Every structure is written in structure tokens, then in C-alpha cells.
Amino acid sequence: MTSPSPADFVRTNTITAPPPLIPEIRLHLATEVTPLWEATEETLRKSNLPPPYWAFAWPGGQAVARHLLDRPDLVRGRRVVDFAAGSGLVAIAARRAGAASVLALEIDSFALAAIDLNAALNGVTVDARCEDLIGDPLPGVDLVCAGDVCYEKPMAGRVTAWLRTLAAAGVTVLLGDPGRSYRPDQGMEHLARYAVPTSLELEDRTVRETDVWRMLPG
Ligand SMILES: C[S@@+](CC[C@H](N)C(=O)[O-])C[C@H]1O[C@@H](n2cnc3c(N)ncnc32)[C@H](O)[C@@H]1O
């Protein structure tokens, strides 16, 4: 039997619903964690692909998306990158807030399918690339947003060093983080805090206080 295409897999295993903090945007989201995780393992076992992060709107991404929608001055007319985009929520919010262009970066090809479907669902266009660009310069980019990227030590270390280099080059860097273990605790300007309702299947509490930080140059 042939495997479903990534787009078919996303459609089949999700419903469309708004994330709790962003009622104005709908996404293809998992209703329950376990069945989707099992379906993903079954479908993707041979491909050795990662878990379906794209099927959830993580607290860090929700906080950044909320911030951009409430403060469109931060994004209007600017060239934006949503790094580690997952569902593409932040990219879609940036588009809605008037970004000149938006590039979503991911390393999971199923996330790319979800980003395309979610952008279309919300009537916006988002360019998406499946490539690990950590460490590369991002010429022509004004604003980089990263939602919930400090959950694993090796990744958080690489990402924060890179984001600081981008900040030093004049890029505005926003980080959304619900107090993950590996968030840097220095060189950050606090911009906002949101109470994000969460599922006990994913988090250890029903609400996560989530901060939006601007990363300062190193
Ligand atoms: C916890 S999810 C956050 C998704 C989204 N930003 C949000 O807040 O809903 C982390 C995402 O980082 C992506 N990721 C991990 N390493 C990456 C890399 N080097 N480049 C781009 N994306 C990456 C994963 O595939 C995953 O979708």
C-alpha cells in the first residue's frame, strides 16, 4: 500500500480549529495527542521522520503570534522569517499583520505540508523552505521570530547563538518561550507575557505563562 502524501496525512489526522490565544486564525490541529502520535509512527516509521510538532500550536508560537497581531507596527512592511515554524502560525500572523514577505523555515517535510494548508485556510501566502539554516546569514531579513525552540539542549544552544549573531547584524529577533529549560537567561529584553491555555497531554499544566523576548546582540 502506498503511503499518503504529507498533505493527505495532515488533512486526515487533524481538524481545523483556532489555537486558544489566536481566535482569528484557524489551523489544522490534532484533537488528541496519542492517536496522532501513533498514526505518525505507523506512517512515518520507514522515513524516520520526527514527531508531529506541526499538529500543535505551541505556547511560544501562540505568544509571538498574539504579539504580532496586537502590535502590527513591529511587522508591517518588514521581511519576516518564522524559524522552526511548525504549523506556520507565526508566519500566518505576520502576514495578517502586514509583513512585506514571510518565509517559514522547517526541517520536517510534513510541517511544510501543514504550513501550506494552514496558509491557504487563512487566505494568505507564506513561502516555506525545508532546510536547516542555523548558522547561515539571512540577508534581506528584518525580523526573525522563533516560537518554542528552547526545549532541547543541543538545539537551543545552536539556535540562540545563531539568533544572537543575527541580532548583532541588525535583525530584530523575537523569541516566544513558556519557561523551557534551555532558554537563555541573559541578553533578553522582556516585551510581553501571555497566559496560554494548554493541554495536559502536552504540558504539565493547563495554562502556561509565556513570554515574548527580544534577543539582544551578544
Ligand atoms: C516545539 S515546535 C514549535 C513550532 C512552532 N514554532 C510553534 O510554536 O507552534 C519546534 C519545531 O522546530 C522545528 N525544528 C527543529 N530544528 C529545526 C531547524 N534546525 N530548522 C528549522 N526548524 C527546526 C521542528 O521540526 C518543530 O516543528
Q: Which three cell numbers stand for residue 172?
A: 530584530
CB of 81 within 8 A of CB of 139? no
68 lines ligand 1 (CB under 6 A): no
Q: How far is the CA of 161 from the centre of ligand 1 (A)?
A: 16
Backbone angles phi, psi at 211, to 5 degrees: -105, 150
Domain ranges of the chain: 6-215
Q: Closest ligand 1 atom, CA of 146?
A: 6
58: left (phi over 0), alpha (psi -120 to 50) or beta: beta
Q: How far is the CA of 144 from the centre of ligand 1 (A)?
A: 13
Q: How far is the CA of 84 from the centre of ligand 1 (A)?
A: 3
Q: Closest ligand 1 atom, CA of 158?
A: 19
Q: Closest ligand 1 atom, CA of 57?
A: 9
Q: Closest ligand 1 atom, CA of 149?
A: 10
Choose one of 89, 138, 149, 166 to mutate for the ligand 1 pocket test, by most ligand atoms within 8 angstroms of C-beta: 149
Strand pairing class (143-147; 79-83): parallel
Distance CA 94, CA 90 (A): 6
What does pTM read for this prediction?
Answer: 0.95
pLDDT of residue 200: 81
- Output the tens digit of pLDDT for each of the chain's 218 residues: 567 789 998 998 899 999 999 999 999 998 776 677 776 666 666 666 678 899 999 999 999 999 999 999 999 999 999 999 999 999 999 999 999 999 999 999 999 999 999 999 999 999 999 999 999 999 999 999 999 999 999 999 999 999 999 999 999 999 999 999 999 999 999 999 999 999 887 888 899 999 999 999 87
Q: How far is the CA of 106 from the centre of ligand 1 (A)?
A: 6
1 has which bridge partners?
none
* CATH for the stretch 6-215: 3.40.50.150
Distance CA 212, CA 218 (A): 18
Q: What SS3 state is found at 94?
A: helix
Q: How far is the CA of 149 from the centre of ligand 1 (A)?
A: 6
134 lines ligand 1 (CB under 6 A): yes
pLDDT of residue 44: 63
CA 99 to chain centre: 16
